[in-house]
Amino acid sequence: HIDDYPGAARFGHEPTRHRKLLLHRKEMARLLEAVQRQGMALVPLRLYFNARGIAKLLLGLGRGKKVHDKRETEKKRDWDRQKSRLMREKG
């Protein structure tokens, strides 16, 4: 879904139409293999427009966190929350 640009003409484009992903065959195969076999995720990192006005998308491959990493992040988040409460109460 790409919204209409408010400064554009009245009839710009259809916001919910299907769009092509232009990749070389080997690139597409590599990304599909990583997503299907290795359980990775395709993550859109950046959307930008080139000089001709064509939208381009920078894709990244991401791997989810392991269980122990999630626990560590949760502990850090809880401690930060507790620390901010203490600072609010004390000072």
Top pLDDT among 3 and 91 is at: 3
Question: pLDDT tens, 38-71?
Answer: 889 999 999 988 899 888 889 999 988 888 888 8
On whether the CB atoms of residues 18 and 1 are closer than 8 A, the answer is: no
Question: pLDDT tens, 15-40?
Answer: 898 888 888 999 999 999 999 998 89
Sign of the CA dihedral running 12, 54, 29, 67: negative
pLDDT at 69: 82
pLDDT at 9: 73
On whether the CB atoms of residues 58 and 46 are closer than 8 A, the answer is: yes
Structure pTM? Answer: 0.52
pLDDT at 55: 84
The structural domains of the chain, with segments of one domain joined by +, span 25-90
pLDDT at 3: 80
